[in-house]
Amino acid sequence: MTTKARIDIPLMSFLMLTPVVGIAGTAIYTYWTGFELWMPLLALGMYVAVGLSICAGYHRFFSHKSYEASRPVQLFYAIFGAMAAQNSILWWSSGHRTHHQYVDRDWDPYSIKRGFWWAHILWIFHRHEAPDVQGNAPDLLKNPIVQWQARWYKVLVIVGGFGLPTLIGALFGDAIAGLLWGGFLRLVVIHHTTFFVNSLAHYVGVPRYNAEISARDNWGVALLTLGEGYHSFHHRFPSDFRNGIRWFHWDPAKWFIGTLRALRLAHDLRSTPAALVEQARLQAAPRVAGTAPH
């Protein structure tokens, strides 16, 4: 970046307090009031809906256009993606496109070259210039669902991300437990698993398809993020709707997109020919063999 960014105190405070409430608060409250199965199931259900909206929606559909999705699917992504509290589709996708364009260089907003913790979370603590949406996201500026979500983003975060699990908890007789498990605890997990893609997947693993940049295939990150851990492949072939290309690769986002196609809610899924994938692997292999693990 060309200018020194200022600390965003409200956002930093939010990201520091949510783990306290989400982890310690949930544990203490559950200890004193009792545990029921619906609580972790609520957290898991919210995690899956919100996580898929980030992985398959914000990332693979809106940022990279790796497939075409119907309006109802886009609306689902817009509503549940907002509940991740990672900013609007427009802001997130434009910033992510900048990351791909300038990966590991100064204009990469969460460059791993500035350190693991910068890439993981410290970059978010700073106020940065607004993403160049006019320059790199004109397609999203024309999307009415993206524009609608940008206008109502904060309402969706509060009403959906915290109000919905509170309401579900109330239906089970404990609104506070719903808020803690489905709201705060789920949010902490979503935040830091997503952040691992920017940090751990650029730090530990195998740069299997392009050893010239920091992106690495990391199966552990894939397990935590619904399939986003095969990051060397993704950076080499960002328009592919898959991250994990092998049958045994854990990639629920890929399977979700495939299900949408079977239901005729998605089409034109873009995948890289196997010959090009193998060519990239062979080109990277000499440097991969000589790359010492971090």
What is the SS3 assignment for 127? strand
pLDDT the model gives residue 42: 98
Strand pairing report for 6-7 and 126-127: antiparallel
Which amino acid appears at position 97 of this protein?
R
pLDDT the model gives residue 152: 97
CA nearest 188: which of 59, 27, 1?
27
pLDDT the model gives residue 129: 76
pLDDT the model gives residue 6: 84
Alpha-carbon gap, residue 161 to 23, rounded angstroms: 17
Question: pTM of the prediction?
Answer: 0.93
pLDDT the model gives residue 269: 98
pLDDT the model gives residue 195: 96
Burial class (CB in 10 A: 0-12, 13-18, 19+), 194: buried
pLDDT the model gives residue 5: 59
Residues of the chain with pLDDT under 50: 1-3, 292-294
Please state, in angstroms and as integers, the Cα–Cα distance from residue 196 to each residue in 36, 43, 63, 228, 246, following that order: 30, 20, 18, 10, 22
Please state, in angstroms and as integers, the Cα–Cα distance from residue 241 to each residue in 7, 196, 197, 231, 234, following that order: 35, 20, 17, 13, 9
pLDDT the model gives residue 290: 67
Q: Do 147 and 62 touch, CB atoms closer than 8 A?
A: no
